[in-house]
Amino acid sequence: MKENLKIQSYCRITNNSIVVNGQSVFENKAAVFPEILKLAYRQLNLNYPKFFKMDTLSRLAFLSAELLLKGSHNSNTAIVLSNRSGSLDTDLKHQQTIDSGDYPSPSIFVYTLPNIGTGEIAIRHKLRSENAFFVFEEFNAEFLQDYSSILINSAKSEQVLCGWVEVDNHNIDGFMFLAGKQGEYDLDTNIIEKLYKA
Amino acid sequence: MRKGIYISAPSVLTPLGFTMEENLSAIKRGEIGIELHRNPKMLDRPFYASLVDSENLDKSFSELANPDAFTKLEKMMILSLKKTLEMSGSNITPGSALIIATTKGNIDLLEKDAADIDRKELSQLAGVIKDFFKFQKPPVVLSNACVSGLMAVSVGKRLMENDSCNEVFIVSGDIVSAFTLSGFDAFKAYSDKPCKPYSKYRNGITLGEAAASVLISSKGDSVGSAEILGERSCNDANHISGPSRTGEGLFRAINGALEDSELGPEHIDAICAHGTATLYNDEMEAIAFDRAKLTHVPLNSLKGYYGHTTGAAGLLEAIIAIESMNENTLYPSAGMDEAGVSKPLNIISRLESKPIRHLLKTSSGFGGINTAVVFRKNSSK
């Protein structure tokens, strides 16, 4: 029996602002890419030095998860992320070290996989759960709705931390929501689309 | 009653051959795809790798389209998927889904002297495959490190169970490039000889190139089919690049897949494991298999034949293992000599007949992710 699933909370991170459940939690019009992530880390008083080792994509995924999971959460929370350019931002950095004849850095290379951010979230919140990283031409609300519903309806997961984490040369485009059995909004494609575009 | 979801119409393209027959007979002859290569553009010293010959590839591809208009990986994926389509007897309809499993896609296009073609993004690679075969749904790229190929099978099954599509075509593939070679070399994880999974003398991975494709559908009667019985993925929540010392994620993934299949460890007849031949990965697997009470089950890693084909590995290896199940034959784990893990595993040392009804395939990857899938021999045929 398929339940009527809900969106419990959501957050939106762009170059200059962070909005959680429609409320602005951080804004800095002067912040240049990708500064906002560090500024927000400080303002939120997070104490997680590993954050500074992460690449921009992982920082974006990590911060979004921090904002949504800071209250209590179920340990069986799946992490399902997506974007358009995979880890291209960090791929270019690794390629530069090869091209310049320098010895490649293992600490850069490890971030040349887009799913590393799901691992960072899993470690931080001790989530030994389902993960997946998908890549689409554009934000795909239909697939995110479908896949997160499948995980909960098949009892593989209790909740799903689900979203879009895109980082390219000049822009951060992050949107994440926590899907589960309770919440204000229906887990519906049109609503996901609307919250992303808001 | 649960509805059966099947994997069928398997096709692989590897250095051991561009057809299933060539690959299976090479494995039975004990032939491996790994060779010593000298290419200073890729690595500053000779290296072992399992590489697809570009001339042969272009020759085969020219029967389909102009080889100059596509990248190496695109040609490998298109050739493989074309065979799956032909074998499946299915036509692409508006309800056909396409999953592309890859870690790095056209990563060689980042190199300075790469052709002037802008397909660096995984979504662009997906667009090329979609357009070539005229799929109508937006393609789904799964890029989940070294479990991508196997996880695609479980994602396919989930989409089918949910009636999200009529059928799912999966194509997986990755190439070897200066990008990946230098990265694993920097990690001190690249073997100076052909990789030796589970051996006492193993000292790292050997990279390989491959494409593999299948159809996931509710049709149990198509070529080379097996039922996808249960599947699960679990994160270790331990380290982004180091395997868990307790094998926690893999142990949980295996248990989840068995539970999903309504089977116990005593029902598993063969295991095709991940076995990358790094010190830590193989040890982690041994611990997980021990905890899952599976150390008695005949097990192999196919990395000794193909190297680590990263995003393609899980699907390529599942396909070969399903063939071994369907012909009731255990394939030896190439590169194995003296066991070098702390828990005794039943590593297959020679080609051998054995009735196989249930097969377990596992994969693990960076980011701490582990995937396990149980396949059952298709008895409805």
Question: Which of B102, B80, B83 shows the shortest CA–CA distance to B13?
Answer: B80
Torsion of CA B41, B67, B305, B310, to 10 degrees: 70
The third-level CATH classification (topology) of the domain covering A6-197 is Peroxisomal Thiolase; Chain A, domain 1 (3.40.47)
Question: Which residue pairs, CB below 8 angstroms and at least 24 apart, start in B25-33?
Answer: B26/B305, B27/B302, B27/B305, B27/B320, B27/B331, B28/B331, B28/B351, B30/B332, B30/B334, B31/B305, B32/B194, B32/B304, B32/B305, B32/B334, B32/B335, B33/B208, B33/B305, B33/B306, B33/B307
* Nearest CB neighbour to A113, from listed B121, B138, B145: B145
For tokens 């029902």, name the residue.
B267
Question: What string of H, E and C letters represents the secondary structure of B217-265?
Answer: ECCCCCCCCEEEEEEEEEECCCCCCCCCCCCHHHHHHHHHHHHHHCCCH
User: Quick one: residue B307, left, alpha or beta (phi over 0 = left, psi -120 to 50 = alpha)?
Assistant: left
Pinpoint the alpha helices (H) of A45-181: 56-69, 88-99, 106-109, 116-125, 141-153
Residues of chain B numbered 182-211 and touching chain A (CB < 8 Å): 182-187
Q: Give SS3 for B272.
A: strand
Torsion of CA B84, B85, B86, B90, to 10 degrees: 130
For tokens 């990986």, name the residue.
B73
Torsion angles phi and psi, residue B238, rounded to 5: -125, -55
Task: For residue B174, list chain A residues with Cβ-Cβ distance below 8 A.
Answer: none
Range from A109-113, A169-173, B51-55 carrying the lowest mean pLDDT: A169-173
**What pLDDT digit, counting tens, does each position of B325-360 carry?**
999 999 999 999 999 999 999 999 999 999 999 999
Residue B381 has pLDDT above 60, yes or no: no
* Nearest CB neighbour to A110, from listed B158, B182, B366: B366
Q: What is the mean pLDDT of residues A116-125?
A: 97
Query: Which pLDDT score is estimated for B120?
Result: 86
- When pLDDT is cut at 50, 70 and 90, the band that residue B379 belongs to is confident
* Nearest CB neighbour to B187, from listed A92, A109, A113: A109
Query: Could you tell me if A75 and A129 are in contact, meaning their C-beta atoms sit under 8 angstroms apart?
Result: yes
- When pLDDT is cut at 50, 70 and 90, the band that residue A101 belongs to is confident
Query: Which pLDDT score is estimated for B343?
Result: 97
Strands B35-37 and A23-27: unpaired
Tell me the pLDDT of chain A averaged across its residues. 94
Residue B118 has pLDDT above 80, yes or no: no
**What pLDDT digit, counting tens, does each position of A51-84 carry?**
999 999 999 999 999 999 986 679 999 999 999 9
Pinpoint the alpha helices (H) of chain B: 20-29, 54-61, 72-88, 122-133, 148-161, 178-186, 248-261, 279-291, 303-306, 313-326
What is the number of other CB atoms lying within 10 angstroms of the CB of residue B131?
Answer: 10
Kindly list the structural domains of chain B, giving each domain's residue range(s) and its CATH number in brackets, ordered by start: 6-217 (3.40.47.10), 226-377 (3.40.47.10)
Residue B362 has pLDDT above 80, yes or no: yes
Q: What is the mean pLDDT of residues B196-205?
A: 98
Measured distance CA(A34)–CA(A57) in Å, rounded = 10
For tokens 């051991």, name the residue.
B16
- When pLDDT is cut at 50, 70 and 90, the band that residue B116 belongs to is low
Residue B1 has pLDDT above 70, yes or no: no
What is the number of other CB atoms lying within 10 angstroms of the CB of residue A67?
Answer: 23
**What pLDDT digit, counting tens, does each position of B279-296 carry?**
999 999 999 999 999 999
Give the amino acid at B298: P
**Greatest Cα-to-Cα distance within chain B, rounded to the nearest angstrom:** 58
**What pLDDT digit, counting tens, does each position of A133-175 carry?**
999 999 999 999 999 999 999 999 999 999 999 998 789 999 9
Do B140 and A134 lie within an 8 Å CB cutoff?
A: yes
Give the amino acid at B39: N
Task: For residue B164, list chain A residues with Cβ-Cβ distance below 8 A.
Answer: 146, 150
Query: Could you tell me if B290 and B343 are in contact, meaning their C-beta atoms sit under 8 angstroms apart?
Result: yes
Query: Could you tell me if A19 and A195 are in contact, meaning their C-beta atoms sit under 8 angstroms apart?
Result: no
Do A91 and B140 lie within an 8 Å CB cutoff?
A: no
Measured distance CA(B208)–CA(A21) in Å, rounded = 46
**What pLDDT digit, counting tens, does each position of B67-101 carry?**
999 999 999 999 999 999 999 998 999 999 999 99
Give the amino acid at A148: S
Q: Is the ipTM of this complex over 0.85?
A: yes
Residue B113 has pLDDT above 80, yes or no: no
Q: What is the mean pLDDT of residues B266-279?
A: 98
Q: Which residues contact B128 (CB under 8 A, 6 or more apart)?
A: B70, B74, B119
Query: Could you tell me if B58 and B72 are in contact, meaning their C-beta atoms sit under 8 angstroms apart?
Result: no
Residues of chain B numbered 101-120 and touching chain A (CB < 8 Å): 103-105, 107, 110-112, 120
